[in-house]
Amino acid sequence: MPLGAHHDAPTPSRSRFPALRSLLPTRAVAASALVAGFLVTGLTVPAESATVYQAPLRTAARALPVAVENNTGYDRTRYFGSWNDANRDCQNTRAEVLQSETRAAVTFTSSSRCTVRTGTWVTNWDNRTHTTASAVEIDHTVPVHEAWGSGARSWTQARRVAFYNDLGDGRSLNAQTAALNSAKQARGPEAWMPPANRCTYIQWWVAVKHRWSLKVDSTERAALIRYADACPNVAITVTKA
């Protein structure tokens, strides 16, 4: 499949409230106007000096800091934990993502409404439709192992847990086909790319790296630049974590 195929896959909303979704187009227009202003004037907000980072994709890919990846001491469970329930409503991060991305009303496994059973999910990286929650896994766009070696090794435990459970940006966590997620494992774009929506995948990878101020190694950087140069040079807007 060509690199740019289906590059217009939308960034999923993290809103759990359907009534709020009607506001999203207006917000998107306002954000686009703001970004356009930066592009017209040729300005980019430096990540170090602003809460929001904005730049065209190709600029954003080149702006990521380069460092040798260091995975010494990695232990996913010890240093990142697991899905948590930040608002204590009995629904953990997995359940929250499933509800935010479903295209139909969900059902739950019990009357307590803690665990999602069914819904409708179209997974971004293969365009497949799933109707049972057990058929999908929640994928970290930037894998946890990759994050560890790219900067999270020096973070506080609280920041690592926050990365693992990032509901603040819809590009960080997404429902994906379980088999595809297993195929990806901890590999970056230099070693693995999805079969569909590859330009969107590169946009999201670059966005998450900027959001969490993660570094790239030289091989990863070269791959990101190569892919970004072959994709539409869309604006990347990120709220720094």
pLDDT digits over 201-225, tens only? 999 999 999 999 999 999 999 999 9
Q: Decide which of 198 and 17 is more confident.
A: 198
Assigned domain for 189 exists: yes
Position 4 confidence tier, pLDDT thresholds 50, 70, 90: very low
Burial label for 5, CB within 10 Å (0-12, 13-18, 19+), is: middle
Would you tell me how many other CB atoms lie within 10 Å of the CB of residue 82? 12
Assigned domain for 31 exists: yes
Cα-based torsion angle of the residue sequence 13, 92, 130, 204 in order, rounded to the nearest 10 degrees:
40
What residues have CB less than 8 Å from 220, skipping those under 6 apart?
69, 188, 189, 190
Assigned domain for 9 exists: no
Assigned domain for 33 exists: yes
142-152, pLDDT tens digit by residue?
999 999 999 99
Give percent of the chain above pLDDT 70: 79
CA atoms within 13 A on the CB side of 238: 28
Q: Domain count for the chain, please give it.
A: 1
pLDDT of residue 21: 33
Q: How far apart are CA 239 and CA 109, in angstroms?
A: 35
Cα-based torsion angle of the residue sequence 13, 16, 19, 20 in order, rounded to the nearest 10 degrees:
-40
pLDDT of residue 133: 98
Res. 194: pLDDT tops 50: yes
Range of the structural domain that residue 233 is part of: 18-239
| Cα maximum dimension of the chain | 54
**Would you give the distance in Å from CA 119 to the centre of its chain?**
21
Assigned domain for 205 exists: yes
Q: How far apart are CA 21 and CA 13, in angstroms?
A: 8
Assigned domain for 8 exists: no
27-65, pLDDT tens digit by residue?
333 333 333 333 333 333 444 445 999 999 999 999 999
Res. 14: pLDDT tops 80: no
Give percent of the chain above pLDDT 90: 79
Element spanning 56, H or E: strand 52-56
Q: Pull the structure tokens for residue 2.
A: 């060509």
Position 183 confidence tier, pLDDT thresholds 50, 70, 90: very high
Assigned domain for 170 exists: yes
The per-residue pLDDT of the chain, averaged, comes to 86
Position 6 confidence tier, pLDDT thresholds 50, 70, 90: very low
Q: What is the mean pLDDT of residues 113-122?
A: 98
Q: How far apart are CA 72 and CA 161, in angstroms?
A: 18
Q: Decide which of 15 and 101 is more confident.
A: 101
pLDDT of residue 3: 52
Q: Pull the structure tokens for residue 168.
A: 């603040």
Q: Decide which of 18 and 144 is more confident.
A: 144
Q: What is the mean pLDDT of residues 15-36?
A: 35
| Range name among 3-17, 24-38, 156-170 with the lowest pLDDT average | 24-38
Strand, helix or coil at 118?
strand
* Residue where the block lists tokens 């999805």: 194
Q: What is the mean pLDDT of residues 115-140?
A: 98
Assigned domain for 25 exists: yes
